[in-house]
Structure 1
Amino acid sequence: MKITAAVTRAPCAPFVLEEVELDPPGAGEVLVRIVGAGLCHTDLVAAEGLLPITMPAVFGHEGAGVVERVGAGVTKVKPGDNVAITFASCGHCPQCDRHAPAYCHAMAALNFVGQRGDGSRSMRDGKGEISGNFFGQSSFATHALTTERNVVKVPDGVPLEIAGTLGCGIQTGAGAIMRSMACHENASLVVLGGGAVGLSAVMGAVLQKCGTIIVVEPNANRRDLALSLGATHAIDPSQSADLAAAVRAIAPHGVDFALDTSGIPAVIEAVPKLLAPRGTFGFVGVPPAHATNLGLPGTLREAMRGGFTYRGIIEGDSDPDVFIPQLMSLYLAGRFPFDRLVKTYPLAEINRAVAEQKQGLCVKPVLLP
């Protein structure tokens, strides 16, 4: 079928809306008419050519919409169902069997390379094949082809156009606090970075009843938003030459938990100095490629002496069929206002959305086909 998609023709090239051909759903696949798709930092990393995906490509991995068709064997959803789309997983490896699909043995193959698990591509135009199936969806388009495992039903009352944001960035931030690190009641926490992931972590920390919630973020509007969402303190790093000292001025013994969403080497290297004994450092931020060791030998010595736990986190350790419905239920109860992070743009203005996110003029752009 003919669809309209935001195509990236070369690394760092702008997104261009084009007509492309999308395959019909095969066995186990679901065709979704996209109503909204979140813009995530991972989309931009991929569009810069930093993931193993061949251009031209269609990105987008926080889609939501209405099921139009299903392939053979699909029983989870039917045409007409409202769904959010999340990351792809195989469903049968040891990690999937343990309900930890974010660590699926086929994670890279199913999400990063722009093709189905069997190696085929689902998109093309008159010039040849286009890499699709990004995170099992490629939802910067009017329609996306996904799989039964990728979709989660969206109940009435949850705005469908923004529900897809729960499929990656927001579940990553909230899940880091609620699942990966399981922050305990009255815990002290510092969140490094106040973007969509960091602010979702703040909301997760409120739900976990953390006692001290510190956000480190240079953008004043995001600091204010963090405080309104439940952070107890906000630090402007541009005004604090010593980050550890600024955090310890609030939590003299250090913090029980730290979550880095920034990927900034200088920030990451400071973390051991602000942790309390037996503290946990969770990280979702990806440092730049040139940042090789991040002072790791010294950091390991500090980790041993402090009894620290260092925890890499993917997708907030989410089991999407469990955690995304939980977040939607909390939203409907007024306890997880993720909609406050969102600003919507027409899909045709995707490049403006990218620019405004980089400028800090919005937190979580959502593109409306």
Structure 2
Amino acid sequence: MPVQGPKGARIVEAIGSTLRGFSAGDKVVMGSAFCGQCEQCLAGNPMYCLSFCDRNFGVQRADGSKAFSDSQGAIGSHFFGQSSFAEHTNVAARGVVKVPDDVPLEILGPLGCGIMTGSGAVLNVLEPKPGSSIAVFGTGAVGMAGMLATKAAGATTIIMVDIVPERLAFAKELGATHTVNSKEVDPVEAIKEITGGGVNYALDTTGVPPVFSQMTQSLATRGHGALVGAAKLGTEAPFAIGNLLLTGIKVSMVIEGDAVPKEFIPRLISLHAQGLFPFDKLIKKYKFEDINQAFADSADGSTLKPVIVF
């Protein structure tokens, strides 16, 4: 079993002898791993690194070595490039983002994955115009981050779709203008009624095939939808091409918010400092000894984004 932890924020204790740009004592956010040398990395698209899966889910370094061991031998490391649940961890500098000293480190870890995924899909891919409309399917941390980003971008009709009343109520508190319980009503019909024909933008954070179909059908003519919800390889979703061809819609598949972490994470921190992206409201902190409770609360939905504080 590898040491897990897909996102984290730490203080640098030591750096490699040839590394420049970091010093011991720096506050950093750790992001996903990428090679920095393939055609996608060189083109400025590191989240589409051609070795992304191996580097983030292979639980070892690129050369096959592992960073951790016990009396039984080597233990899988570098989960999502970092294994941030370890007390100390070893990461590649290209995936690390230095942050200002005055920013509270304990809220920054989620920026390296889930928060970046939702907000990046909105700000980097959909790019909603001020005054536009958007529907976000799913009110987990990724969906809520997407919603906060749409608000920061100036969207004025923000529709959140889910089946959990408490989550929908919380979304309303955070700035959603409308909520739709898709267990009670047809979300496509509800969205078209709210907007008078469909939304300009839509985001599916669930990866559930019927929800993906609902997202595409909720778009207005020439609307733009994005999928960030992960599904098992080979999963197929209904796509009504006979109906949708005439709409001219666009659908994007998005990994990790299509972000360049060293550019995007400081951008999110700046928006937060201005009060425009209050992602800290999605977070609940747990002591390390309560990590199992954090997992349980995340699984049952009572906590959107648990953060383990060492």
Q: Give TM-score scaled by structure 1 length.
A: 0.81
Q: Report the counterpart of residue 20 of structure 1 in structure 2.
A: none
Percent identity of the aligned residues?
Answer: 40
Q: How many residues align?
A: 310
Asked if residue 196 in structure 1 is aligned to residue 141 in structure 2, the reply is yes
The yes-or-no answer on 1:345 pairing with 2:286 is: yes
Query: Alpha carbons of 1:269 and 1:156: their partners in 2 closer, same or farther (altered >3 Å)?
Result: same
Corresponding position of 1:205: 150
Alpha-carbon distance between aligned partners in 1 of 2:63 and 2:200, rounded to the nearest angstrom: 44
1:301 corresponds to = 242
Match of 1:101 among 35, 46, 57: 46
Q: Specify the code of the residue in structure 2 equivalent to 1:244.
A: V
Cα deviation, residue 288, structure 1: 4.8
- Of residues 13, 18, 22 in structure 2, which corresponds to 1:68? 13
**Alignment match, 1:257:** 201
Q: Quote the residue 1:22 is aligned against.
A: none
| Equivalent position of 1:31 in the other structure | none
2:181/2:187 contact within 8 Å kept: no
More moved, 142-151 vs 348-357: 348-357
Unaligned 5+ runs, structure 1: 1-55
Deviations 1:219-273 (A, max 9, x none): 2332222222221111122221x12111112112111111001122221122232
1:362 aligns with 2:307: no
For the residues of structure 2 that align with 1:301 and 1:106, how far apart are their CA atoms?
36
* Greater strand content: 1
**Could you say what secondary structure the match of 1:58 adopts?**
coil
- The alpha carbon displacement at 1:304 in A equals 2.1
4+ residue segments displaced more than 6 Å: none
Q: Which residue type is aligned with residue 253 of structure 1?
A: G
Q: Which residue of structure 2 lines up, in the alignment, with residue 175 of structure 1? A: 120
2:229: which partner in 1? 285
| Aligned residue in 2 for 1:18 | none
2:130 to 179, 185, 196: 185
Q: Displacement of 1:306 after TM fit?
A: 1.4
**Unaligned ranges ≥5, structure 2:** none
Deviations 1:118-162 (A, max 9, x none): 121111111121110111110012111111111111213321012
Alignment correspondent of 1:12: none
1:135-146 correspondence to structure 2 within 5 Å? 135-146=80-91
Structure 2 residue corresponding to 1:269, chosen from 213, 228, 253:
213
Map 1:300-319 to 2 at 5 A: 300-319=241-260
Deviations 1:64-90 (A, max 9, x none): 111001112211211011111011111
Cα root mean square deviation, aligned = 1.5
Q: Which residue of 1 aligns with 2:191?
A: 247
How many angstroms does 1:337 deviate by? 0.8
**Structure 2 Cα separation of the partners of residues 73 and 249 of structure 1:** 60
Is contact 2:217-2:244 (8 Å) kept? no
Q: Which amino acid aligns with 2:87?
A: T
One-letter identity of the residue aligned with 1:260: D
Q: What are the residue-to-residue correspondences of 1:38-49 with 2, within 5 Å? A: none
2-side partners of 1:196 and 1:350: how far apart? 18
Q: Which moved more, 1:81-90 or 1:225-234?
A: 225-234
